[in-house]
Amino acid sequence: MKVVVIQGPNLNMLGVREQNIYGPMKLDDIHAQMEEYAKQNGVEIEFFQSNLEGEIVDRLQECLGDADGIIINPAAYTHTSIAIRDAIAAIQIPTVEVHLSNIHQREEFRHTSLTAPVCAGQIVGFGPFGYHLAMMSIIQIIREITAMREAQAGQQAQVALQEN
In 55-99 the beta strands, taken as DSSP E runs, fall at 69-73, 95-99
Sheet with 95-99, side-by-side order of all strands: 44-49, 2-7, 69-73, 95-99, 121-124
CA distance 97 to 139: 14
CA distance 87 to 71: 14
Q: Is 22 a catalytic residue?
A: yes
- Exactly one of 22, 37, 79, 111 is catalytic; which is it? 22
- Exactly one of 31, 77, 79, 99 is catalytic; which is it? 99
Residue 95: Cβ within 10 Å count: 28
- Asked if residue 73 lies in contact with residue 96, where contact means CB atoms within 8 angstroms, the answer is no
Q: Just list the catalytic residues.
A: 22, 99
